[in-house]
Amino acid sequence: MISCSKVKDGEFLITGTAKGIENGKTIILQGQDPTTMAVLPLDTVKVENGKFEIKGKVTEPAFHTLIIQDLQGPIPFILETGEIKIEVDKDSIHKSKISGTYSNDEYVKFNEDVTKVQKRLIDFQKKILRLCRLLNKNKIQQLLMV
């Protein structure tokens, strides 16, 4: 069997696009200390021509984040063996796209499903609030008529 992968077992390669982000801006790969749970910087790279790359070794899948200099918020993803693609959305960091490995593709699907459920819950809450207002209005009118 022939593999076209750029990484070996136990390695990862993050290739990223960062359109609109200036050359030289720092990107920090962060992980978590398993003992203290403290956030730790694991690697730093610079944006060059709207792109960046981080390569390394990994023993097991785990949540990590990327922090981009001068942007608000982290980009969460699962660091695991394989090629991970990250498209940074500089205007809305939480809309950045992550793909390339099974766990990250599933994580993206999960987040999309959660967003749909949250929207349905918010819509339901709005309906309940409207109903409560209507019931309260009717109750007040009834009290005034007594």
What are the tens digits of pLDDT across the range 18-59?
999 999 999 999 999 888 989 999 999 999 999 999 999 999
All residues at 6 or more sequence positions from 63 whose CB lies less than 8 Å from its CB, including other chains: 32, 76, 77, 78, 79
Nearest to 54 by CA among 22, 6, 95: 6
Q: CB-hemisphere CA count at 13 Å for 134?
A: 6
Residue with tokens 């005034």: 144
The span from the CA of 89 to the CA of 101, in Å, is 20
Neighbour-count burial of 77, counting CB atoms closer than 10 A to its CB (0-12 exposed, 13-18 middle, 19+ buried): buried
- Average pLDDT estimate for 74-78: 96
Q: Over the stretch 78-126, which tens digit does the pLDDT of each residue have?
A: 999 999 999 999 999 989 999 999 999 999 999 999 999 999 999 999 9
pLDDT value at residue 1: 42
Residue with tokens 């809309």: 95
**Mean per-residue pLDDT of the chain:** 90
